[in-house]
Amino acid sequence: MDIKSKVIDSEGFKRIISRISHEILEKNKGTGKLILMGMRTRGEFLAKRIQKQIQEIETIELPLAILDVTLYRDDFRTRLKQPEVSVSDITVDISENNIILIDDVLYTGRTVRSALNAIMDMGRPATIQFVVLVDRGHRELPIRADYVGKNIPTSSNEEIKVKMMEVDGEDAIYIVNLTEK
Amino acid sequence: MPLTNRHLLGLQGVPKEDIQLILDTTTTFREVLERPIKKVPTLQGKTVVNLFFENSTRTRISFELAEKRLSADSLNFSASASSVNKGETFKDTIKNIEAMKIDMVVVRHAAAGTPQFLTKICDANIINAGDGIHEHPTQALLDMYSIREKLGKLDGLKVCIVGDVAHSRVALSNIFGLITMGAKVSVCGPSTMIPKYIEQLGVNVIYDIDEAIQENDVLNVLRIQLERKAREYFPSIREYSKYFGITEERLEKNGKDVLIMHPGPINRGVELSSGVADGLQQIILKQVTNGVAVRMAVLYLLGTMN
């Protein structure tokens, strides 16, 4: 990994989670009908942290769902590598509820597009709000996030690496130079 | 990592990693089947032809559903209503269908080796849905998935295949797959229905059904294929069911919590008593549900390969 700079450390990470949790509660005027939905892999862990944070603030444990969007992707034909699928874990009825969709990086917007389709196939939520840790620009679809941890303008030969304790052993956000493959 | 072969012709020689990948991917599709809308757009724009030269209900419907639930376009061909009856050769039929731009072919044929032959004359991904008495890989995969779902593993399990092993493609595919996955496989049936060289595949032969029940964790009970002249291999159906039929009394007598499976269609009162076929130890309808998920996994893994 060719690191260019470390943008966020573990302290900053904590503050972002805390701020976004408060923003979600503020915008929705409490926890009524909220469902947290993390997108595999790192969105899942972000969702769990937001769930914990909200529990500390409101003493209410929000329902948590995990979404895998592999089957809804639009790039099967152009990718060289076959993506690995895993299982969505959604035990709550999402209809008429407010979905807080959570992912680590917002880039072209295509992953969120597939997530929206996947969610619509499972029911008809009242609203879908989108939380993202990093918005790095370069959108290819008309999509924006409702809650943004940090805006990091990047060039297309850079990449954002989000590291999380649960899978990577540290909490941090890096900008790295894309190595030629 | 994708599968190593772009066709699924059989389980003979298929590496453990590939079987593992198919079984793991099946879990994803099991979840899709539990949703209110049981459909994902994954194979949109792909065309799958179901080429059935032999009768089938379960397998054909199962494949068709799997294709529809992946949003592929599927079309059905059955030999009885086709130009094969006008004297067109098999090869010409295939070439014509391929000329209509198709991506995948699911084939069932009474002649062993038909799927292999297809791979040589057309470019589509070929999936074997049963070729003669050779292999029926998706059935074995769904059997393995069902065992794993119920008992948590395959490695080290003892599985016995009961019945007409000599004329069964289900048996052969199960033997190849289960041995690869580390299970201990045995077969049980009248000696006329046990092939002479079966032991060379690494399989144990048991001639006593009570011993088979006591020794094993799973019994995969095959159908006595009356349409394939199975009657010529034993004196009477009554005698077969007396010596090899699985009944509640027999299970009770051996006091073993063995898992009962059957690929369907069941001859009630022959290989399984009605009580056992509807009993607590069987997972026969679970196998059918899992069949759709397994076929979705296979179609997905082959259809999204580049």
Which of the residues A68, A73, A76, A124 would you substitute to probe the B interface, choosing the one with the greatest number of B C-beta atoms within 10 Å?
A76
Residues B191 and B258 in one domain: yes
Percent of chain B with pLDDT over 90: 82
Residue B11 lies in a domain: no
- Test A72 with B300 for CB contact under 8 angstroms: no
CB B16 within 8 A of CB B181: yes
Residue B6 lies in a domain: no
Q: State whether B150 and B217 are in the same domain.
A: yes
Q: Is the CB of residue B221 less than 8 Å from the CB of residue B246?
A: yes
Residue B162's pLDDT is what?
97
Give the pLDDT band of residue A77 (cuts 50, 70, 90). Answer: low
What is the side-by-side strand order in the sheet with B204-206? B204-206, B184-188, B158-162, B218-221, B259-261
Task: Determine, for residues B35 and A77 on separate chains, whether the beta-carbon distance falls below 8 Å.
Answer: no
Q: Is A103 helix (H, G, I), strand (E, B) or coil?
A: strand
Q: What percent of chain A has pLDDT over 90?
A: 75
**CB-defined contacts A:B, below 8 A:** 42
Does B147 lie in the same domain as B89? no
For residue B168, is it within any domain? yes
- Please answer yes or no on whether B41 and A117 come within 8 Å at the CB atom: yes
Q: Chain B within 8 Å of A88 (Cβ-Cβ)?
A: yes
Give burial (CB, 10 Å; 0-12/13-18/19+) of B188. buried
DSSP per-residue letters across A122-134:
T---SEEEEEEEE
Mean pLDDT of A58-83: 84
Residue B33, in any domain of the structure: yes
When scoring B5, B24, B28, B125 by the number of chain A Cβ atoms within 10 A, the one with the most, hence best to mutate, is: B28
Range of the domain at B171: 137-287
Q: Grade residue B227 by pLDDT with cuts at 50, 70 and 90.
A: confident
Confidence of residue B256 (pLDDT cuts 50, 70, 90): confident
Pick from B216, B202, B204: which is nearest to B159 by CA?
B216
Would you state the pLDDT for residue A80? 61
Residue B5 lies in a domain: no
Distance (Å, whole) CA A131 – CA A61: 18
Of A72, A76, A88, the CB nearest to B31: A88
Contact assessment for residue B260 and residue B275, using Cβ atoms and an 8 Å cutoff: no
- Spatial separation of the C-alpha atoms in residues A98 and A36, rounded to whole Å: 9
pLDDT (0 to 100) of residue B306:
66
DSSP assignment letter at B269: T
Same domain for B176 and B155, yes or no, is yes
Residue B91 tokens read as: 């090869």
Q: Quote the DSSP letter at residue A82.
A: P
- Is residue A181's pLDDT more than 60? no
Cα separations (Å) of B130 from B96, B111, B143? Answer: 22, 9, 15
Judge whether B206 lies within some domain. Answer: yes
**What is the rounded distance in angstroms from the CA atom of residue A173 to the CA atom of residue A176?**
10
Which residues in chain B touch residue A89, judged by CB atoms under 8 angstroms apart? 31
d(CA A99, CA B43) in angstroms, rounded, equals 27
Q: What is the value of pTM for the model shown?
A: 0.87
CATH of the domain at B283: 3.40.50.1370
Q: Name the residue facing A87 among B27, B301, B304 (closest C-beta).
A: B27
In the predicted structure, residue B225 carries a pLDDT above the cut 90: no
Q: A79 pLDDT band (50/70/90 cuts)?
A: low
Do both B144 and B29 map to the same domain? no
Inside any domain, residue B198: yes
Considering only the beta carbons, identify the residue of A68, A80, A88 that sits closest to B306. Answer: A80
Q: From the CA of A68, how many Å to the nearest CA of chain B?
A: 9
Sequence letter at residue B37: I
What residue ranges define each of the domains in chain A, with the CATH number in brackets? 10-24+33-70+86-154 (3.40.50.2020)
Residue B171 in any domain: the answer is: yes
Say what the ipTM of the complex is: 0.71
- Considering only CB atoms, B37 lies closest to which of A68, A77, A121, namely A121
Residues B98 and B190 in one domain: no
Overall domain count for chain B = 2
A72 touches chain B (CB under 8 A): yes
Tell me the average pLDDT across A6-29.
Answer: 96
Cβ contact, residue pair A82, B2, below 8 Å: yes
